């Protein structure tokens, strides 16, 4: 057995209950393939050498059949592949069917951020927490294009599809952080569509969820900041501080001191950043594109964020000075 915390030569660390079973099947198939490869290539090389042309006349001996041999090379591989199928199918069922008592977390993928929502209303973005030793079921959907939720050390990967739900479950076995990747090419910043899973002890997890719960009584700009870094996922593309303080990301215009600024657009026109301009940019991002940025890079948030939330975001953007 490999040490679950360290990656092996071929595989990342094993940080979920099912990871060792997947690895055993994977490595068994791999080594079986290597064994067959060596056997077949070895026999072939041997025969090529043994029956090479040596000059003179060598008459071939005609062999019509060998019943024992033919049955053996048909039946043995048949049982091997049936065995592999049953093994793989049982593991597939373990992977596909979450335990009944699994805790649910809703996951939304969008260009280019992962958002998470808990039963008590807690939300987070680019990171989420799970308790160690408890089954967790992710119910996932996408707001725009195909994404894929991939946690190598859990051995979990599932497509995240617009207009439908897909699920994935795991039970973490190691405290600490695990990396989430997007494993489906989804555009400009696909490679930056990352998240962290914090695997925490039960008390630490409870505290984390509490800290991430919505506070309805917060000031509008504080709610806006939460939406910016959470549900809206705006921080994936827009920096909020000066270039010196926060060089990245620069996929969208920097929002530091944006309010009241005069923007230059791709078509040569200019416009002042007002409440109405920000609202238009959120709901119809393609109406105006700031010069130097890719047109169509931002998805619309019409129907995603309500009037209240857009207002909160505007309040937050006004504070960035």
Tell me whether residue 109 or residue 253 sits nearer to ligand CUA (CB atom).
Answer: 109
Give the distance between the most distant pair of CA atoms in the chain: 99
Listing DSSP states for 77-141 in one string gives: HHHHHHHHHHHHHHHHHHHHS--TTPEEEEEEEETTEEEEEETTS-EEESEEEEETTSEEEEEEE
Identify whether 9 is preceded by a cis peptide bond (ω within 30 of 0). Answer: no
Question: What is the nearest approach in angstroms of ligand CUA to the Cβ of residue 157?
Answer: 12
Tell me whether residue 112 or residue 154 sits nearer to ligand CUA (CB atom).
Answer: 112
Question: What is the nearest approach in angstroms of ligand CUA to the Cβ of residue 92?
Answer: 24
Question: What is the nearest approach in angstroms of ligand CUA to the Cβ of residue 277?
Answer: 28
Tell me whether residue 109 or residue 135 sits nearer to ligand CUA (CB atom).
Answer: 109
Tell me whether residue 19 or residue 158 sits nearer to ligand CUA (CB atom).
Answer: 158
> Within 10 A of 127 (CB to CB), how many other CB atoms are there?
16
Under 8 Å CB-to-CB from 271, ≥6 apart: which residues?
Answer: 262, 263, 265, 277, 288
Binding site for ligand CUA (CB under 6 A): 109, 112, 147, 182, 184-186, 190, 193
The distance of Cα 7 from the centroid of its chain, to the nearest Å, equals: 19
Tell me whether residue 134 or residue 157 sits nearer to ligand CUA (CB atom).
Answer: 157
Question: What is the nearest approach in angstroms of ligand CUA to the Cβ of residue 143?
Answer: 11
Question: What is the nearest approach in angstroms of ligand CUA to the Cβ of residue 67?
Answer: 55
């Amino acid at each position: 057995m490999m040490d679950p915390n360290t990656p092996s030569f071929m595989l990342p660390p094993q940080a979920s209950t099912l990871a060792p079973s997947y690895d055993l099947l994977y490595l068994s198939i791999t080594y079986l393939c290597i064994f067959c490869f060596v056997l077949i290539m070895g026999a072939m090389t041997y025969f090529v050498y043994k029956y090479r042309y040596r000059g003179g006349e060598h008459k071939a001996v005609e062999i019509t059949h060998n019943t024992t041999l033919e049955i053996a090379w048909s039946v043995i591989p048949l049982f091997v592949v049936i065995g592999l199928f049953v093994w793989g199918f049982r593991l597939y069922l373990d992977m596909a069917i979450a335990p009944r008592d699994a805790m649910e977390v809703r996951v939304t993928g969008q260009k280019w951020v992962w958002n998470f929502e808990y039963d008590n209303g807690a939300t987070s973005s680019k990171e989420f927490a799970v308790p160690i030793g408890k089954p967790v079921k992710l119910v996932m959907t996408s707001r725009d294009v195909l994404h894929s939720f991939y946690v190598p050390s859990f051995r979990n990967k599932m497509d995240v599809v617009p207009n439908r739900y897909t699920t994935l479950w795991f039970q973490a076995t190691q405290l600490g952080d695990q990396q989430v990747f997007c494993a489906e090419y989804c555009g400009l910043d696909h490679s930056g569509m990352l998240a962290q899973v914090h695997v925490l002890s039960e008390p630490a997890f409870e505290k984390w969820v509490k800290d991430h719960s919505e506070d309805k009584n917060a000031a509008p700009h504080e709610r806006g900041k939460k939406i910016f870094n959470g549900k809206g996922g705006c921080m994936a593309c827009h920096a909020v501080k000066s270039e010196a303080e926060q060089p990245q990301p620069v996929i969208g215009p920097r929002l530091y001191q944006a309010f009241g600024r005069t923007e230059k657009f791709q078509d040569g026109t200019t416009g002042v950043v007002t409440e109405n301009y920000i609202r238009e940019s959120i709901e119809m991002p393609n109406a105006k594109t700031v010069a130097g940025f890719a047109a169509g890079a931002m998805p619309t948030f019409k129907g995603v964020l309500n009037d209240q939330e857009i207002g909160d975001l505007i309040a937050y953007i006004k504070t960035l000075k």
